[in-house]
Structure 1
Amino acid sequence: MNSIIDDHSLASAGAVRMHWFRERMPVVAGVNQTFKEQQIFKGKTIAVCMHIEPKTGFWIEGLLGGGADHVYLLGCLGTTKKDTAAYLASLEHITVLGKEGDTYEDHKEYLKLVMEHKIDLFLDNGASLILAHHELNPGWSPMGANEETRSGKLLIEKGQVETAYPIVVIDDSPLKQILENAVGVGQSVVDGFMRTTSLLVGGKKVLIVGYGYCGSGVAKKFRGLGATTLVYDLNPVYQLKAKSDGHIVGELQELIPQADVIITVTGVFDVITEQHIPLFKDKVILGNSGHYSFEINVKAIKQASISIDQVKEGIERISFGEKSLYLLHQANPLNLAGADGNPIEIMDLGLGLQSYSAYRIVTGLETLQPGMQPVPDDINESISQLFIESLK
Structure 2
Amino acid sequence: MNSIIDDQSLASAGLVRMQWYRERMPLVTEVNQLFKQQQVLKGMTIAISMHIEPKTGFWVEGLLAGGAAHIYLVGCLGTTKKDTAAYLASLPNVTVLAKEGDLYEDHKRYLKMVMAHKIDLFLDNGASLILAHHELKPGWNPIGANEETRTGKLLIEKNGVQPDYPVIVIDDSPLKQTFENALGVGQSVVDGFMRTTSLLVGGKKVLVVGYGYCGSGIAKKFRGLGANTLVYDMNPVHLLNAKTDGHWVGELHELIPEADVIITATGSFNVITEQHIPLFKEKVILANSGHYGFEINVEEIKQASQSVEIVKEGIERISFAEKSIYLLHSANPVNLAGADGNPIEIMDMGFALISYSAYRIMTNVESLQHGLQPVPKDIDSQVSKLFMNSLQ
TM-score per shorter chain, which class?
Answer: over 0.9
Alignment match, 1:130? 130
Give 1:98 shift.
0.3
Alignment match, 1:108? 108
Distance in 2, Cα, partners of 1:321 & 1:14: 44
Alignment match, 1:320? 320
2:31 is the alignment partner of 1:45: no
After the TM superposition, which parts of structure 1 deviate over 6 Å for at least 4 consecutive aligned residues?
Answer: none
Alignment match, 2:7? 7
Give 1:172 shift.
0.2
Alignment match, 1:370? 370
Give 1:163 shift.
1.1
Alignment match, 1:257? 257
Within a 5 Å distance, the mapping from 1:15-164 to structure 2 comes to 15-164=15-164
Counterpart residue type for residue 378 of structure 1 = D
Give 1:96 shift.
0.2
Give 1:21 shift.
0.5
Give the match's secondary structure for 1:364: helix
Give the match's secondary structure for 2:79: coil
Alignment match, 1:208? 208
Distance in 2, Cα, partners of 1:377 & 1:259: 41
Within a 5 Å distance, the mapping from 1:224-373 to structure 2 comes to 224-373=224-373
Task: Note the alpha carbon deviations across 1:12-37, whole angstroms, 9 max, x for none.
Answer: 00010111001000000000001011
Task: Note the alpha carbon deviations across 1:151-193, whole angstroms, 9 max, x for none.
Answer: 0000000001001100000000000000000000000000000
Give 1:364 shift.
0.7
Counterpart residue type for residue 383 of structure 1 = V
Task: Note the alpha carbon deviations across 1:302-355, whole angstroms, 9 max, x for none.
Answer: 000001110000000000021010000000000000000000000000000000
Give 1:243 shift.
0.2
RMSD across aligned positions (CA): 0.3
Task: Note the alpha carbon deviations across 1:342-377, whole angstroms, 9 max, x for none.
Answer: 000000000000000000000010100000000000
Give the match's secondary structure for 1:216: helix
Give the match's secondary structure for 2:223: helix
Alignment match, 1:382? 382
Q: What's the TM-score, normalizing by structure 2? A: 1.00
Task: Note the alpha carbon deviations across 1:220-250, whole angstroms, 9 max, x for none.
Answer: 0000000000000000000000000000000
Q: What's the TM-score, normalizing by structure 1? A: 1.00
Distance in 1, Cα, partners of 2:146 & 2:313: 34
Distance in 1, Cα, partners of 2:391 & 2:242: 30
Unaligned regions of 5+ residues in structure 1, if any?
none
Alignment match, 2:185? 185
Give 1:389 shift.
1.2
Task: Note the alpha carbon deviations across 1:277-326, whole angstroms, 9 max, x for none.
Answer: 00000000000000000000000000000011100000000000210100
Give 1:77 shift.
0.2
Give 1:55 shift.
0.2
Identical aligned residues as a percent? 78
Counterpart residue type for residue 126 of structure 2 = G
Alignment match, 1:194? 194
Distance in 2, Cα, partners of 1:17 & 1:351: 19
Give the match's secondary structure for 2:311: strand
Give 1:272 shift.
0.1
Distance in 1, Cα, partners of 2:306 & 2:321: 7
Unaligned regions of 5+ residues in structure 2, if any?
none
Matched residue count = 392
